[in-house]
Every structure is written in structure tokens, then in C-alpha cells.
Structure 1
Amino acid sequence: MKTALYPGSFDPVTYGHLDIIKRASLMFDKVIVAVMCNSAKTPLFTLDERVKMLEESVKDLDNVIIESFDGLLINYCKEKNIHIVIRGLRAITDFEYELQIAQTNKELSHNEVDTVFLTTNLKYSYLSSSVVKEIASYNGDITPCVPPSIADKLYKKFGYTRT
């Protein structure tokens, strides 16, 4: 059985993330979406909130599992016996950063972990969690960016109620 890991902060999960998850679920027998505790970021949502939002968003995908982890990605891969990491690319600017991370993971894992890059659907290429949070913080329309339940949670975080 081929298992792949899709790690990220998912703060919050966007339609771009969900596009990658759905496509990966068609390519692999099992996809583990791993919500990371990223020490370089200060998340808007708690780890538990992000896990729950993802679980709700992918509940119809039988071969997708949501988990969380803290620490080095390659250690998590080793613990779970995973050899494939999925990463999404929106633009060429993502590629340079993601390539460096992929090469580092490959080296640190002694060639045990490979990265598969999936390009984001063009209609979501502008999306990032940061952009979505920025729009929501000004009570802007984020319905094209995230599922309705996620939009509600974002607006609530910023003190808005949408009707």
C-alpha cells in the first residue's frame, strides 16, 4: 500500500489545500495530512482547531487521515514508515523554497524520503492561508477561498458575524 504524507500548517485550510489533498487521494492508497506545530509561525487557530477543520473538510475522502505532529518531518516519516511527501506549488517562487526543503529531507533521511510536487489548480494559485486571514481580518469576502464552515470560524476569530 502506497502512503503519502501532506504536511502543513493549514492555518486555515483553503480550497488550494483541499485541491491538493483530493488529487493526492486519487494517486495514493492512503494520504496522511499532518498538521504541523511550526515554531516559525504564530497560528491564528490552535492545533486542535486546525485538525478539526481539516477532518470536517475531508470527511468524504475515505483514504485521507488527519494527524498532527511536532518536530522534524523526516522523523515523523520514519515513525510512520512513509517515504513520499506531497507538497503543493502555486508559483515559481514556491519552487525554490520547496526544492531546498525536499533536498534537505532527502539528505537527512538517507534517501528514504522523496517529495512529489503537485501544482495547484490555476483557480487557486493566488491562495495562501496568510492572504485569506488578511482578507477575513477586514471582513472581506473569503467565500471563494475556503469552505463555508471555515469562513465562519475565521470571521468569528476576527469578531465578525456573517449572515
Structure 2
Amino acid sequence: MQNESKKFYLNRFITAVLSVLMLGVAYLLYTQFISDTEFLTDTAVVLSWIFAISSLLTGIACLIKIFDPRPVVEMRAEGMVIRNFLTAVFVPWHEVERINQQRYTNIVVNPAGFAFVRTTILRVYRYGKRSIAINLLLINKRGDEFSNTLTQHLVPFSKVSGEDLK
């Protein structure tokens, strides 16, 4: 087992694209719907404001996350640190009950249309505690290095098979 830690950072390209898209949606909603509300109902105006503000906040959050120098996942000999936007959770290897990879498909509906959003989540189940999810789409996994490092750390505990991580 290694004494050094492996750090996996955010996939900055995908996050930058997401940030630009969300800021663009907020801009388009404001300029096309909210600035001229003559032909819109009150409900449409309220929904447009809600979509515009949520798009703006998501775009700003992604923009901030692009410049965050901390790794999203850090694997050490004693456990792994998983960081989200505001908090960091340390999970010792002996607490891991099992790990599996799940694929989620969401339908996103907005005034411009709809889209299918598919992402892969790595869920870490712990004994007697809540599970922790890691969005694998937003992590720079560097090929198979992420799954190989995770398997290397978990093999002594025999909680995961290589098929769960592929």
C-alpha cells in the first residue's frame, strides 16, 4: 500500500461548458422573456424569474468551482476525502461496506425544450451511515487510474470487486 495520496480534480472543461451554458440560459431568459412581459401571464413571469435565477446561481457556482484548487476526491492509505461545494467528508476504508457504480438518466424540461441528462454516480455505502455519491462525469479520472487506485485501496478490505468499478 502506498503512503502517498492520489488526488483527483474536477474536470474543468465540462464544468466550464456547464457554466457558460447556464449563464447563457439565464441571459436568454432575462432578455427574451423577463424584459418584455407584455404578452406573458403572471405565472409565466414568475416561472421565468425562477428559471433565470436558478440558472444564474448554477452558472456562478460552476464558475467558482472551476477555480477551486482543492481536489474533489483524495485517496490516502487510511481512507478517502470526498469534497463537494461546501464540505469535505473523510471516509476510512474500514467503514466502507460496498461501492457500486450507478447510471442515472434525468429529463430536464425548460421553456426552450427538453433534454436527457445522463451521468454516472459512484456510490460509497458505509456501515450505519448515509451513503456518499460522487459524480464521475465531473471528475478527471485520468483513464483507469481512478478505478485502479480505488480497487488497490479496497482489496485488503474485500468489499468491492473489479466488476463494480468498470
Q: TM-score range with shorter-chain normalisation?
A: under 0.3
**What's the TM-score, normalizing by structure 1?**
0.24
Q: Could you say which structure has the larger radius of gyration? A: 2
**What's the TM-score, normalizing by structure 2?**
0.24
Q: Which has the larger strand fraction? A: 2
